[in-house]
Structure 1
């Protein structure tokens, strides 16, 4: 006898009609086309309406919406937002089936599915497009899976128009539309993605255990190892080419036969290192989130990322660190010079940070931009706030030329604010997920902040014509970062596109040959162009009649290309007859979402994370550190068909974590960190290296780099077998990241300096597992040099140690043109040049130092400066310019 499924229930006891979510689609050479299918089933005895608030990538362009029920698929259409709602409401009132898709924020959407009939299954499908470009031979694709709880500031204000857990406030008027209730969730996520980049790639995931099945040619199918997973963290895929080369064609076009115009997307990856001089001194303010939502895995990741960022500053740069929760505090009252002493002080200050309170981001961001109005602001946060627009406006009002670079930490980053701040200030954003190596990301991100850039860009066309360009205001071009221009071309032809601007004070020009064909079939390019045009119009910040006129233009373009925006929505209606036609208004069922993985305030941080071994995690009661979080107070919810009304009073309050229970001190907070010896890695000061090796798993393994911070080996939990590491390799990998207690419980004890690995021993490190480059770079001092041992003046000892370190990096293929580590190599070369005059009394050391510096320097200007400094050295005369002879010479000197 077949048993009947009991069904899923909301906190109030009503059944949850959402049965599961499936991600399908294609990741192709220039873009991703992804479909998110939501499967609903009504197990009640009367028609119901399902309301589900879910996320999509903020840079995605919604391209299709459909509903399938009773075996029939009905395609949706884009209409002006209020017109779409009226169409939906009229259909529901008349007893038909209907679905509505509204955009609440750039990355938050609400699906309403009305008149779900008893015993019937309905599938709603949302399709979106994304531009996909390669950076350093790799593609990173991310799909958020839930709208996580966020801090909602302000006093209750206005009428409720949505079904969220929070009421509207004076500072977040749409709070009720972006706060889905958190509850017990049993529906899960499945995936079936086709990957075809036109060449061989390696597909990996730092967030989930996946399976990759190869089909014909370069086609691969990617799914989850155990079929279904929880929607409690972002889904992240990394696709890299084995030969580390770019995988995309720089020009993609679309033009129908006989059409009035075609559309193009031109992408360039500029190489500006060769023409860059030494960068000016920087002023950098780091802003780190220590709110309650950062408890668990997020804060240790943020601390590790921040400590790495500090080590990429140059001596003489000025910096400060701001930590924020409900309030904020600073490392120093004002930015201070970056020295070895301030680096060590900042290490200790950062190590003592603990997570608590709300995510009040506005005031600390204002303080940061005020402290460095023309500098660089680096933000480390999980980004879960409700007043994104208010924060963005305040930052843009306070800054002059400051650029914002953000690290999104954790499993459920709300990326819209971080992307907007980066885009509107000329910065960048990176997202870091549990179990994922962060060192490469931090290096790449911070290198961008200090990298050469081209500003005041203008574009001209020769032989062809480009029109209606997007973005209309060309953003800066940053070394090594893909830069894309979209536009329309009235007539086909072959010609040139020239980009001109300024690199510092010097002129810059780049010319690219293009072929605009008469016929080309890449329709996604047209939608991407329209979406980028709309984003530019939305960012114009117009008011009054001009704002209304701009809204009309946005609606017209969005409807013409069927794109969802803040002013347009997708709606689909299934006309019903006879017994399938419902009567009366359906009752509303609001779909709850998972507690985010790793959030202590919901009691999930210490749960077994079954995602990591491919299983399905069922989140139980919603808890905070202070106990069970009560559900929101009962309140009237808008009935089916309810839509925004006029202003009025409303009760309720903003989300904030409950009062915290006492918690254990953060790692390294129990005692001051001792000042590290200059002969050792500054990051290793928290414990002897031998104890670090015992207390944490080896970190070089892909995906498990931070597992030692969290007290478990995430690779083992995911079922990935890796070789055990020991000896110098394990020490080299762990020394900058492992903060665990040693066996004696003394987290501050330090091994004698002579027992630690120093720069002269780098070759043995580098060839035992490939960890040498990261280990060497992790020991670079604040002045850009490496600490030396033995006798003699300190400049001579440091010059020799630095030359040996750079020589080993050269053996590993790391030079000043390296996409990730080039900035640190340039820093070391500049430091050696500054020592040149003080080490000429030791000709062998001077020849070794300047010879290696010439070999690792890729820029002709830097090599010219090195040749000028080397003129007094007879051993280098005639060898510079001959790489083979110079390499033999420095190898001989290094062996002495």
Structure 2
């Protein structure tokens, strides 16, 4: 679409200078080295400052920052944080060009680019290093693309220090730093990634339509099929190997100087399930804070997280729940077996919890560790306690091999105690900030807590030498989770690295052949090594003179390898002379961001989200708030329907009146057909003629705004431009809105939570009708999974994936009991294959389905398989 002037405009007619974003880089072994390139162009007649708040992965290591303008590239310099700001501000005031990169949260960053000259283009590049994740041997890499709106609780408090759309509050003091405005955005995202894991892999994306070009050997280049897409959803890549060997062990090295040491990163992605005869039984005790400070959003979310975690357990596991405030009480006097009866009883007990009283943590923690001395203890609390040393000593005295997983909720948590308990028991700790969901983090961490693991790891080198290893204390090796060892090698050579430990009570050993070359050009490995060394030093938590000495050591290594730490930041200054030197203070242009895909509530308020020119040092004024409305949600224009209110980070409700009409079906649909109506459809077969299940205690989350629904994300016109990464500023590409499948969330049936609430302890569902119980339950489970598939929920779903995995495993175990009902067997295994996201599980399903003629030739062909199971389900 051509306009008289290019770009996005504010209401006052000022241009938004950001023209586009590109992701480039490499996915190598178990790590990614990624560059996010932001291109700015000032279309005004005077200098301006651009302020752009954007996300990076929370587990990324920021390693480089640069600015290119007038054909000149200037590298960023790592300085201590306040010193970096002073250098930036002094440069802008003196008329020079400058850029500053601040970390607001572990996954939220702000780039300030000052004195953008009229008609001039500037490219700012941020580089980060990141470990990739894995599921069932399938490597996954995810990049967030926008800072989504979040609920901001509390009363306005304190002065503004940034340009967000919300004032700081007493509960979120950095609210003005994490709330970029929502706008009708025309800049987009491009991608050019090199993938080389050292072996043949298949690259797929569940989030976008991609093109993969092989460059020889194991190297592949990945981009978007349509060239440019909207920054409105996470970018996800899956890399799977056709060789389903038990252990995936990429090695990446770097050695530039023949006289100096080399650096290596050895990543192991273990398949511990295939090595064990049967998963060990678990003993789990949940400890949940129900003190008065948990009143509000925290306790409902914690209760929802508990219900989700309970459904991770297998029959035969033992569990208990302890609630504490000024005193404590237990669900049962001791851990009980996980059965259908105890699951239902625990659901009712948890639902009845109320917030009141103080925070007496010592006795409940002692009781929890005493009840499961060799198990898993999960603590959820938002409180501060004064007797931290006493609690830590008591817990360590009671435990044998128990691991503690703690979740600190809010900004007033005894973080030192939680960190120490996690570190000294081999567990983990997560801190959940205001505005963040509790259930996401709890469920993800709890899944890892229950996974098979190897502990007490030791490493030996044979034929080669490894020194200055990082981490210095080897962490446990967890099934399916990348485990990386970094270090230096003084001389090149070939040899073996052996890892030894314990898998439960059994010895574990894994030997990997390695080749440390004389020359290798992978500088990212050196930065990863330095970053891991710094993390180890920071974790030492020294005090006094040793702490000052350690800080100096951290800053020295960070500066040497250009790495951002909690003590350092990046700043770039471009010294200017003559006519390129600006005079006066530039006006600030705050960059708006997309509404997240599927969040239809923002369609009516796009114009409200556009910002005008503002002074650089004063920030912006928040939008007017309706009486009683939480901060962070702009009031829509008078003609719009009432704006929905965020009831909290755990539940965001979009009334049907605000949901946009169903979009036409895209050309390429890779998801299930539209759901049948609740009456007479699949749900009526599952729950009877009423067509809907009894209403259970609802989960305290609503996936209507965040589920992984499929989109035809390639539905953006390509930008035709020779030898350039971005569209021309004179002829911007107009990005089409994503075409949403499943006919929007307004057409959903009774809901995923209602179905999941009826899952039995054995992982199956039960349905009406006659016939043997295995046949009846297999059919009911297949029908339930079909409905979940229509909600975009598979085994990789962040909240409900564990329950889907459990159902898939239960159907696999039932397969041999369905020989007398071949159609039910085909339905059950066909749906199980569709619901399973991992190649390992799909391979097992394909083996079980070989005797079934109806599935021959359809496994692996998703469209044909969907048609077949839909036909079977309709009978």
- TM-score class normalised by the smaller sequence: 0.5 to 0.7
How far apart are 1:529 and its partner, in Å? Answer: 0.5
Hey, what does 2:731 align to over in structure 1? none
Is the deviation greater in 506-515 or in 49-58?
506-515
Hey, what does 1:210 align to over in structure 2? 209
- Distance change in 2, residues 1:550/1:75 (3 Å): same
SS in 1 for 2:9: coil
Hey, what does 2:624 align to over in structure 1? none
SS in 2 for 1:196: strand
Q: Please give the alpha-carbon distance, in whole angstroms, between the structure 1 residues aligned to 2:777 and 2:3.
A: 69
Hey, what does 2:311 align to over in structure 1? 310
Q: Map Cα deviations across residues 612-632 of structure 1 (whole Å, 9 max, x no partner).
A: xxxxx9956579xxxxxxx9x
How far apart are 1:453 and its partner, in Å? Answer: 2.7
SS in 2 for 1:90: helix
Answer whether contact 1:20 1:188 (CA < 8 A) is retained: yes
Q: Please give the alpha-carbon distance, in whole angstroms, between the structure 1 residues aligned to 2:55 and 2:688.
A: 39
Hey, what does 2:554 align to over in structure 1? 554
- Distance change in 2, residues 1:49/1:393 (3 Å): farther
Hey, what does 2:339 align to over in structure 1? 339
How far apart are 1:263 and its partner, in Å? Answer: 0.9
- Distance change in 2, residues 1:406/1:200 (3 Å): farther
Equivalent residue for 2:807, pick from 754, 761, 778: 778
Answer whether contact 1:190 1:224 (CA < 8 A) is retained: no
Q: Please give the alpha-carbon distance, in whole angstroms, between the structure 2 residues aligned to 1:780 and 1:86.
A: 58
Q: Please give the alpha-carbon distance, in whole angstroms, between the structure 1 residues aligned to 2:779 and 2:768.
A: 22
Answer whether contact 1:279 1:450 (CA < 8 A) is retained: no
- Distance change in 2, residues 1:195/1:349 (3 Å): farther
SS in 2 for 1:314: coil
Q: Map Cα deviations across residues 86-138 of structure 1 (whole Å, 9 max, x no partner).
A: 33233222211111223344323221111112333322111222234654331
Q: Does residue 23 of structure 1 match 2:34?
A: no
Q: Map Cα deviations across residues 480-519 of structure 1 (whole Å, 9 max, x no partner).
A: 4332111112223344434344444555444444333322
Q: How does 1:220-299 map to 2 (within 5 A)?
A: 220-223=221-224, 225=226, 227-231=228-232, 233-245=233-245, 249-270=249-270, 272=272, 274=275, 279=280, 281-285=282-286
- Distance change in 2, residues 1:143/1:272 (3 Å): closer
Q: Map Cα deviations across residues 531-566 of structure 1 (whole Å, 9 max, x no partner).
A: 111122222223333322221111111111111222
Q: Please give the alpha-carbon distance, in whole angstroms, between the structure 2 residues aligned to 1:247 and 1:780.
A: 22
Hey, what does 2:491 align to over in structure 1? 491
Q: How does 1:454-493 map to 2 (within 5 A)?
A: 454-493=454-493
SS in 2 for 1:531: helix
Hey, what does 1:884 align to over in structure 2? none
How far apart are 1:70 and its partner, in Å? Answer: 2.7
Gaps of 5+ in 2: 397-401, 410-417, 431-440, 620-628, 635-643, 654-681, 693-700, 716-737, 743-748, 759-764, 796-802, 846-875
Q: Map Cα deviations across residues 234-292 of structure 1 (whole Å, 9 max, x no partner).
A: 32222223454579653222112323211111223445554678735412439899999
Equivalent residue for 2:768, pick from 748, 752, 776: 752
How far apart are 1:455 and its partner, in Å? Answer: 2.5
> TM-score normalised to the size of structure 1?
0.61
How far apart are 1:470 and its partner, in Å? Answer: 0.8
Q: Does residue 689 of structure 1 match 2:668?
A: no
Hey, what does 1:175 align to over in structure 2? 174
Q: Map Cα deviations across residues 721-751 of structure 1 (whole Å, 9 max, x no partner).
A: 9999xxxxxxxx9998764999xxxxxx996
Answer whether contact 1:405 1:449 (CA < 8 A) is retained: no
How far apart are 1:169 and its partner, in Å? Answer: 7.2
Hey, what does 1:543 align to over in structure 2? 543
Answer whether contact 1:319 1:335 (CA < 8 A) is retained: yes
Gaps of 5+ in 1: 409-417, 431-440, 599-603, 609-616, 624-630, 641-652, 668-685, 697-705, 725-732, 743-748, 789-796, 826-896
Answer whether contact 1:759 1:787 (CA < 8 A) is retained: no
Q: How does 1:99-138 map to 2 (within 5 A)?
A: 99-132=99-132, 134-138=134-138
Q: Map Cα deviations across residues 680-710 of structure 1 (whole Å, 9 max, x no partner).
A: xxxxxx96434699979xxxxxxxxx99988
How far apart are 1:755 and its partner, in Å? Answer: 6.3
- Distance change in 2, residues 1:190/1:657 (3 Å): closer
SS in 2 for 1:38: strand
Hey, what does 1:93 align to over in structure 2? 93
> TM-score normalised to the size of structure 2?
0.62
- Distance change in 2, residues 1:755/1:424 (3 Å): farther
Hey, what does 2:52 align to over in structure 1? 52
Hey, what does 2:434 align to over in structure 1? none
Answer whether contact 1:76 1:570 (CA < 8 A) is retained: yes
Answer whether contact 2:455 2:501 (CA < 8 A) is retained: yes
- Distance change in 2, residues 1:151/1:537 (3 Å): farther
- Distance change in 2, residues 1:40/1:656 (3 Å): closer
- Distance change in 2, residues 1:489/1:169 (3 Å): farther
Q: How does 1:465-614 map to 2 (within 5 A)?
A: 465-505=465-505, 507-596=507-596, 604=599
Hey, what does 2:676 align to over in structure 1? none
Hey, what does 2:617 align to over in structure 1? 638
CA RMSD of aligned residues (A): 6.5
Answer whether contact 2:18 2:38 (CA < 8 A) is retained: yes
Answer whether contact 2:310 2:343 (CA < 8 A) is retained: no
Q: Please give the alpha-carbon distance, in whole angstroms, between the structure 2 residues aligned to 1:407 and 1:113.
A: 35
Answer whether contact 2:491 2:518 (CA < 8 A) is retained: yes
Q: How does 1:794-805 map to 2 (within 5 A)?
A: none
Answer whether contact 1:31 1:132 (CA < 8 A) is retained: yes
Q: Does residue 41 of structure 1 match 2:41?
A: yes
Hey, what does 1:219 align to over in structure 2? 220
Q: Please give the alpha-carbon distance, in whole angstroms, between the structure 1 residues aligned to 2:646 and 2:453.
A: 48
How far apart are 1:75 and its partner, in Å? Answer: 2.6
Q: Please give the alpha-carbon distance, in whole angstroms, between the structure 2 residues aligned to 1:366 and 1:596.
A: 43
SS in 2 for 1:3: coil
Count of residue pairs brought into register by the alignment = 695
Q: Map Cα deviations across residues 312-363 of structure 1 (whole Å, 9 max, x no partner).
A: 3333511449899xxxx99959886333212234567889999xx9xx9x98
Answer whether contact 1:461 1:496 (CA < 8 A) is retained: yes
Answer whether contact 2:129 2:528 (CA < 8 A) is retained: yes
Is the deviation greater in 455-464 or in 156-165?
156-165
Q: Please give the alpha-carbon distance, in whole angstroms, between the structure 2 residues aligned to 1:723 and 1:586.
A: 44
Q: How does 1:345-494 map to 2 (within 5 A)?
A: 345-346=345-346, 372-373=368-369, 375-376=375-376, 401-404=402-405, 426=426, 448-494=448-494
Q: How does 1:878-889 map to 2 (within 5 A)?
A: none
Q: Please give the alpha-carbon distance, in whole angstroms, between the structure 2 residues aligned to 1:266 and 1:425.
A: 25
Answer whether contact 2:249 2:268 (CA < 8 A) is retained: no
Q: How does 1:826-865 map to 2 (within 5 A)?
A: none
How far apart are 1:161 and its partner, in Å? Answer: 4.4
Q: Please give the alpha-carbon distance, in whole angstroms, between the structure 2 residues aligned to 1:738 and 1:397.
A: 43
How far apart are 1:37 and its partner, in Å? Answer: 1.6
SS in 2 for 1:754: coil
Answer whether contact 1:443 1:820 (CA < 8 A) is retained: no
Q: Please give the alpha-carbon distance, in whole angstroms, between the structure 2 residues aligned to 1:288 and 1:234.
A: 33
Hey, what does 2:10 align to over in structure 1? 9
Hey, what does 1:857 align to over in structure 2? none
Q: Please give the alpha-carbon distance, in whole angstroms, between the structure 1 residues aligned to 2:29 and 2:552.
A: 34
Q: Please give the alpha-carbon distance, in whole angstroms, between the structure 1 residues aligned to 2:126 and 2:526.
A: 19
Q: Does residue 141 of structure 1 match 2:157?
A: no
SS in 1 for 2:584: coil
Answer whether contact 2:587 2:615 (CA < 8 A) is retained: no
